[in-house]
Amino acid sequence: MYAIVDNAGKQYKVAVGDKIVVDKMDVAPESEVTFDKVLMISKDGKNVYGFPYIDNASVKAKVIESFKGDKVLVLRPRPKKSHRRLKGHRSCFTKIAVTEIIGG
């Protein structure tokens, strides 16, 4: 059994026991979160699709940790010049573990 959920404009395929990394969520570690925007649930070979979301369906997960990702460097050289500009950033992420899929 698996589900496809929408979180912050991104879609994730999750099953019970999966650990996924999503964009930063403002929740404390070891707390429970619920994803109500469920796009699809597959159970025993049968698929249930929402339009756009399935009513009375949700996915419960437990927050493991929040962390920063690897540094991303952006180099912007100018053609035929000796001018270069180097910028970088580190995105924040939250790691969660799926505990339950409700509905379908």
Mean pLDDT of the 94-98 span: 96
Whether 41 has a pLDDT exceeding 90, the answer reads: yes
Cα angle vertex 75, ends 23, 67, to 5°? 25
Say how far apart CA 34 and CA 51 lie, in whole Å.
19
Residues 46, 60: Cα–Cα separation, whole Å: 21
- Write down the pTM of the prediction: 0.81
Cβ 99 vs Cβ 57: under 8 Å:
no
Give the span between the Cα atoms of 29 and 40, in whole angstroms.
Answer: 27
23: domain range?
2-67+94-102
Question: Is residue 14 assigned to a domain?
Answer: yes
Flag whether 51 is in a domain: yes
Domains identified in the chain, total number: 1
Residue reference for tokens 């698996």: 2
Whether residue 62 is predicted with pLDDT greater than 90 in this model: the reply is yes
Model confidence band, residue 104 (pLDDT cutoffs 50, 70, 90): low
